[in-house]
């Protein structure tokens, strides 16, 4: 059974001192909505592409014209609580592929 709320900590990689945020979100939040939460918490303006890398899957906005063999799963259909139920406790969120703002996302409490 999925938890009612999930506490996440996301930290920008390779920065010293560390830049991080902690948020509490409903377990039924989609990855698309979580993207919006991260954007607001970090002060980003959502001008660039993004992606969640969870296990061996990439989640984001599906692109029929994407290059390569890797499939991007639709983030609007995936709920965070379901991922946590399946054991996801740490994953990566990348924003702006040009600058490569990579965030480590950790489930602190579910």
Residue boundaries of the structural domains of the chain: 5-109
Residue showing tokens 């969870």: 54
Predicted pLDDT at 50: 96
For residue 2, name the pLDDT band (cuts at 50, 70, 90). low
Q: For 5-109, which CATH class? A: alpha beta
**What is the average per-residue pLDDT within 80-89?**
96
Mean pLDDT on 77-100? 95
Query: pLDDT of 33-83, one tens digit each?
Result: 999 999 999 999 999 999 999 999 999 987 765 555 567 899 999 999 999
Break the chain down into helix, strand, coil percent, rounded to 5.
20, 40, 40
């Amino acid at each position: 059974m999925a938890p009612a709320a999930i506490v996440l900590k996301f930290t920008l990689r390779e920065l010293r001192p560390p830049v991080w945020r902690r948020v509490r979100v409903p377990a039924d939040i989609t990855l698309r909505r979580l993207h919006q939460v991260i954007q607001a918490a970090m002060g980003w303006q959502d001008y660039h592409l993004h992606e969640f890398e969870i296990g061996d899957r990439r989640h984001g906005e599906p692109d029929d014209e994407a290059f390569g063999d890797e499939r991007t799963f639709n983030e609007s259909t995936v709920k965070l609580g379901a991922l946590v139920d399946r054991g996801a406790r740490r994953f990566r969120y990348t924003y702006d592929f040009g600058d490569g703002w990579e965030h480590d996302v950790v489930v602190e409490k579910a």
